[in-house]
Amino acid sequence: MDTQQVMEKQCDNAGQAPRRILFVCTGNTCRSPMAEALLKDRARPREVCSVGESTDVPPFEVSSAGLYASEGAPITPAAAEALAQAGVVATPQNNYPAHAAKNVSAELVAWADEIVGLTAAHAMELLMRFPQAATKIRTLPMDIADPYGGDAEVYRLCLTQLRYALELAYFTEGEA
């Protein structure tokens, strides 16, 4: 599917409630906030949507949380820098530099249409903690390794893996 087709597919979402996606990792300071920022950036309405009836409703509402987050901790500087270097612009709707870590909660689980563990181990723990949400819990097409403590190159590699996995999961033909 080329970029034009993806944009048109996003525009076809007009009038529908956005899909609410919750990304979950360990500490909610690296992978899950990067996944949140990437998906918000990738899914934001583009000019092609203004050709027909315009909508301010993006196809996704996105949030992130951690299984063992230190509440209020910021996104790591290396994660924020990797996003900025990749061209992800901080906006009021995607203000990743102001991210504050939070723990996954029953309220977030109830809010989400889809809960994405960034590794199979995260998804398994989510299933154990929230068995009532089993039908909403999934993983990306690949486990995303934790870059925490790594250098800038490790964070760039993590971002590249996330971008690829998100593209496969949400923007290719045959997506759920």
Q: Which residues are catalytic?
A: 25, 31, 146
With b meaning 16 or more CB within 10 Å and e meaning fewer, what string describes 31-67?
A: bbbbbbbbbbbbbbbeeebeeeeebeebbbbbbbbbb
Cα diameter, the chain: 46
Q: Is 114 helix (H, G, I), strand (E, B) or coil?
A: strand
Q: What are phi and psi of 19, to 5 degrees?
A: -75, 130
Q: How many CB atoms lie within 10 A of CB 117?
A: 25
Name residue 29's amino acid: T
